[in-house]
Amino acid sequence: MTATPCHVPVVVVGGGQAGLSVSYHLKQRGIEHLVFERETAAHTWSTQRWDTFCLVTPNWQCDLPGHPYDGPEPDGFMKKDEIVAYLKAFVAKVKPPIREGVAVTRVERRADGLFAVQTSDGAYTANEVVVASGGYQVPIIPRMAEKLPGSVTQIHSNQYRNPAQLPAGEVLVVGSGQSGAQIAEDLHLAGRKVHLAVGDAPRCARFYRGRDVVTWLADMGYYEMTVDNHPLRDGVRDNTNHYVTGRDGGRDIDLRRFATEGMRLYGLMEDYTDGKLRFRDDLKRSLDQADRTYNSINAAIDRYIAENGIEAPAQEPYTPVWEPTEPVTSLALESSGITSIVWCIGFSPDFRWLDASVFNGAGSPKHKRGMTSEAGISFIGLPWLNTWGSGRFGAVGRDAEYVVQVIQKRLVAERVPLKFAV
| CA gap 279, 266 in Å, rounded | 7
CATH-assigned architecture of domain 6-137+349-413 = 3-Layer(bba) Sandwich (3.50)
The span from the CA of 95 to the CA of 89, in Å, is 10
80-93 pLDDT, tens digit per residue, is 999 999 999 999 99
Quickly state the pLDDT bin for 420 (edges 50, 70, 90). low
User: Position 167: which residue type?
Assistant: P
pLDDT digits (tens, 9 = 90+) for 357-389: 999 888 889 999 999 999 999 999 999 899 988
Position with higher pLDDT, 134 vs 274:
274
H or E segment and range at residue 21: helix 17-28
- Confirm if 181 and 342 have CB atoms less than 8 A apart: no
Note the pLDDT of residue 421.
Answer: 45
Q: Taking 80 as the threshold, does the pLDDT of residue 198 lie above it?
A: yes
List all residues 6 or more positions away from 116 whose beta carbon is below 8 Å from its beta carbon: 5, 106, 107, 108, 109, 110, 123, 124, 125
**Concatenated DSSP letters of 296-361:** HHHHHHHHHHHHTT------PPP--S----S---EEEHHHH-EEEEEE-S-EE---TTEESS-B-T
Q: How many CB atoms lie within 10 A of CB 169?
A: 14
231: alpha, beta or left? (left if phi > 0; alpha if psi -120 to 50) = alpha
Contacts of 137 (CB under 8 A, 6+ apart): 347, 348, 349, 350
DSSP SS3 for 181: helix
Q: At what angle do helices 396-413 and 17-28 cross, to 10 degrees?
A: 50
Residue 387: which residues within 8 A CB-CB, separation 6 or more? 223, 224, 225, 226, 227, 395
What letter does residue 172 receive in the DSSP assignment? E
- For residue range 238-268, what is the model confidence (pLDDT) as tens digits? 778 899 999 999 999 999 999 999 999 999 9
Per-residue confidence (pLDDT) for residue 211, from 0 to 100? 98
Provide the phi-psi class of 73: left if phi over 0, else alpha when psi is between -120 and 50, else beta: beta
Residue 422 has pLDDT above 70, yes or no: no
Q: At what angle do helices 80-94 and 17-28 cross, to 10 degrees?
A: 20
Query: What stretches of 6-158 adopt beta strand conformation (E)?
Result: 6-13, 33-37, 63-64, 67-68, 98-100, 104-109, 115-119, 122-131, 138-139, 153-156
How would you label 6-15 residue by residue, b for 16+ Cβ within 10 Å and e otherwise?
eebbbbbbbb
Q: Mean of the per-residue pLDDT values for the chain?
A: 94
Q: Which of 281, 362, 294 is nearest to 327 (CA)?
A: 281
pLDDT in tens, 22-46: 999 999 999 999 999 999 999 999 9
3-state secondary structure 118-141: EECCEEEEEEEEEECCCCCCEECC
Residue 1: pLDDT band (50, 70, 90) is very low
Strand order in the sheet with 330-332: 269-273, 276-279, 330-332
Q: Structure pTM?
A: 0.94
Q: Is the pLDDT score of 295 beyond 90?
A: yes
Residue type at position 416: V
Burial of 295 (0-12, 13-18, 19+ CB in 10 A): middle
3-state secondary structure of 204: coil
Dihedrals phi, psi of 355, to nearest 5 degrees:
-95, 90
Least reliable range by pLDDT among 54-58, 84-88, 414-418:
414-418
Residue 349 contacts residue 135 (beta carbons within 8 Å): yes
Name which CATH class applies to 139-343: alpha beta
CB 196, CB 343: distance < 8 Å: no
Q: Where in the chain is the domain with CATH 3.50.50.60?
A: 6-137+349-413, 139-343
Name the percent of the chain lying above pLDDT 90.
87
Q: Which residue type occupies 388?
A: W
271 CB burial (10 A radius; 0-12, 13-18, 19+): middle
Closest to 183 measured CA to CA, from 124, 112, 255: 255
DSSP state of 191: T
What is the C-alpha separation between 390 and 237, in angstroms, rounded? 11
